[in-house]
Amino acid sequence: MGNLRGPAVLALAVCLTPMGAAAQLSPSEAGFVSSALDARYGVMLEPPSSESLLRDHAHGVVDEVRRQLSQNGALSADVLSEAQHLQRERYSLLEPKDRELLDAALSLRLGGFSVAGPGVSATLPAAAPVPPAALAPPDFATFLQGVRADAAKDAVPQAVLDDALTGLTEDPKVLADENSQPEHTITFEQYLSEVVSDKRVAQGKSEVSQYSATLAKVSAAYNVPAASIVAIWGMESNYGPNQGEMQVVRSLATLAYAGKRPSYFRGELIAALHILAKEHMSAKDLKGSWAGALGQPQFMPSTYLKLAVDFDGDGRADIWNSVADVTASIANYFANAGWDKSEGWGTEVTLPAGFDQSSASLSVVKSVADWQAAGVKPLAGGALPAGALSASIIRPSGPGGRAFLVLSNFRVVMRYNNSTYYATAGGLLADRIKAQ
């Protein structure tokens, strides 16, 4: 998440206020928040809520408590500390069965030792063992019963639930994929060579030409440039073919049951069930990525329900097959995220000698005129945007690497994928697609 990670984590540090006092993040929670905010599942309408993140972390701690007690009958020091933090600060986020387990696990420390004082001695009785029922995690069938109940309360038709959930099994490949997501191990230049390749630029130009009438209408309707829409389309699914072939309901159910973000994915699972009802689809036909991202724009199900567009007027927001619906849905996302048609995304620049590297951050915002006065210049052949616009300087590959002056629309692209690599590549790809 780069320059935004610190403020985002700090903002969560006071997100819950049990007993009227701000609950600070534990080191484990801070690490979980950072990794969750960096995670790339699919396009989300909103970043994960603080409660969702902390609920998911609490779920993971309880699972580790259960595992250690089952295997060793005791807790390691770090897990014991996390359990105490949960009991003190996050108790309200736990399910009743998880509270029972946590209370029983922590009570194990209090029994079986003696207390002596002047003329008085006492021995506390040994704590009762943790009930076997509390140690047993709910099985997948029980989990699905709970999903059925929640979805039915949310007005998902019974026929859809029967079709999607009857006989459903976990998909171990999904958990393997979740646990093998790579860290950022390639350089910015390597990333650009893959994402903004000559082949992708050429195909982008071809798509703009082939669908010029549709793109003109979409661009006019949402005030987003056609080249920017097509660039995202190319980056997400290579203009269509790379949509994923996994059964979305099964993937989401697996992640909601046994993944790292069960609270988040349970919500996406119920959203996917609503899609089946809305689109009159069978669960076997709803395909996507391992994380449940859908169609050519790679929308998560909740984002699809809110922002997918039926632009061709056939009664269905078909982000799988309809170019009109795909491009309009991407444009609608940008419009809702605050795209400003009067601005571009940014431009590559050169920095003056002695430039303060700490100023190369999205958290540092100045007018273009101020940056220009400080010695920031457009790359040869380029031009700086209007001087009154607000802008930041970024160096995606770090000190000494290429520098870019980026405007508010850059942050809109980061709402689509929270990565400076991605947003910069999207801007550069759009510029090359647009160029004659």
| Residue among 236, 245, 268, 348 flagged as catalytic | 236
DSSP-assigned letter for residue 43: B
Scanning 198-322, the segments in alpha helix (DSSP H) are 198-210, 212-222, 226-237, 248-258, 262-279, 301-307
What CA–CA distance (Å, rounded) separates 241 from 319?
12
Q: Which of 300, 323, 319 is nearest to 308 (CA)?
A: 319
Three-class SS state of 49? coil
- C-alpha angle with apex 132: 131 to 138, nearest 5 degrees? 115
Q: Which of 176, 310, 324, 182 is nearest to 246 (CA)?
A: 176
**245 vs 92, 289, 378, CA distance in Å?**
38, 7, 44
How long a stretch of residues is the chain?
Answer: 436
Q: Let me know if 236 is a catalytic residue.
A: yes
Question: Is residue 323 within 8 Å of 366, Cβ to Cβ?
Answer: no
The pair of three-digit structure tokens given for residue 414, joined into one six-digit string: 């980061």
Question: Is residue 248 within 8 Å of 360, Cβ to Cβ?
Answer: no
Question: Is residue 412 within 8 Å of 406, Cβ to Cβ?
Answer: no
What CA–CA distance (Å, rounded) separates 325 from 165?
29
Tokens 């979409």 belong to which residue?
218
Question: Is residue 70 within 8 Å of 331, Cβ to Cβ?
Answer: no
Q: What sign has the CA pseudo-torsion 87, 93, 98, 100? A: positive
Tokens 């709402």 belong to which residue?
415
Pseudo-torsion of CA 249, 269, 34, 346, nearest 10°? Answer: 80
Q: Which phi-psi region, left, alpha or beta, contains residue 48 (left: φ > 0; alpha: ψ -120 to 50)?
A: beta
Residue 87: exposure state from Cβ atoms within 10 A (0-12, 13-18, ≥19) = middle
Catalytic residues, by residue number, are: 236
